[in-house]
Amino acid sequence: MSANIGVSLREHLLKHCDRTELRRIIYHIAETCKYISSILGEYNRKVAQTHNSSGEQQLEVDILSNEILMERLRRDTSFGINEFASEELDKLEIFNTNSGRYSVSCDPVDGSSLADVNLSIGTIVGIYDGPILNDRGGRDNMVAALYVLYGPLTTLMYTTKSGVHEFVLDPTGNYVLATENIRLEEKGSIYSPGGLKKDWTREHRDFIKTLEEQGHKLRYSGGLVADVNQILLKGGGIFTYPALVDKPDGKLRVYFELQQMALLVEQAGGLATNGEDHILNLSPTDIDARSPIYLGSKYEVNLAQQYLEHTVAV
């Protein structure tokens, strides 16, 4: 067990992040997520009669959480945020073009449709050095990623490209270190497959069949944060939301969900691909761009790649 277990998030950031403004942004977001956690129970059953930029029905908790994150980042004076992008907005918000070095993209409440049945949901955040949309790709442009999982415990997972670390929100309201330097095994034992089975491609269907034949256990909640979190904490496996016959780009968004999770998983020793390229190499020009994803342990992701490239005999 690490000697650092139980240290605060603030202390951990001081050790693992040498950029003062970046530390402040991460800590500020973590503190904001405490407030989001506190309002989830009150608002999760209230449905707002609006839709987000992707045409999906928004729950009131989606709208409120987005406003909380956006306004608290906009108003803080200890750092400058250049751009703010959210799954709940139809365009980038420009906060500070003069002194803002970093930009933030987020899914304020991932899995919000699960809230009314009391399943785990979360907040996903990526932090970029400079504009979000550029030709550098997430691997070079993203400097930190985190998510907060609102479950039986409220937990936070973050990376500043110096490993992946889990914190638990304790009864006193402090984030304390629970697991440091999380590592994935080369091969896991669970799989989380998104999308309707009837819409899977033949290659993807054959891949899933092979996992089942090898004894992988189905573990799928319908919430990205919860499913990726279990892969990280169980030591391996794979999450996938593939290309579908009627949706070749899949469902999940590069800038709001995928690159954040890809950075966390790669920092834990795993891989993330869309079948053609690493998720962190992507640099789409559309903030709402989507991509298929295979994310998790190296064995499973490489096996998926072989099926997608037709290099496995079936």
* Count of CB atoms situated within 10 Å of the CB of 186: 12
Q: What domains does the chain contain, in order, with CATH numbers?
A: 9-179 (3.30.540.10), 190-308 (3.40.190.80)
What percent helix, strand, coil does the chain show, rounded to 5?
Answer: 35, 25, 40
The pTM score is 0.92
> pLDDT, tens digit, for every residue of 5-48?
889 999 999 999 999 999 999 999 999 999 998 887 665 555 44
pLDDT of residue 39: 81
DSSP classification of residue 255: I
pLDDT tens track of the chain, all 314 residues? 466 788 999 999 999 999 999 999 999 999 999 999 888 766 555 544 455 555 555 567 888 899 999 999 998 877 889 999 999 998 999 987 677 889 999 999 987 666 666 568 899 999 999 999 988 899 999 999 999 999 889 999 999 999 999 999 999 999 999 999 999 999 999 999 999 999 999 999 999 999 999 999 999 998 999 999 999 999 999 999 999 999 999 999 999 999 999 999 999 999 999 999 999 999 999 999 999 999 999 999 999 999 999 876 55
**Whole-number Å distance between alpha carbons of 142 and 132:** 8
The candidate with the shortest Cα–Cα distance to 138, out of 257, 229, 26, is 257
Please work out, in degrees rounded to the nearest 5, the angle formed at the alpha carbon of residue 47 by the alpha carbons of 193 and 192: 10
**Whole-number Å distance between alpha carbons of 36 and 169:** 13
Question: Are the CB atoms for 110 and 121 separated by under 8 Å?
Answer: yes
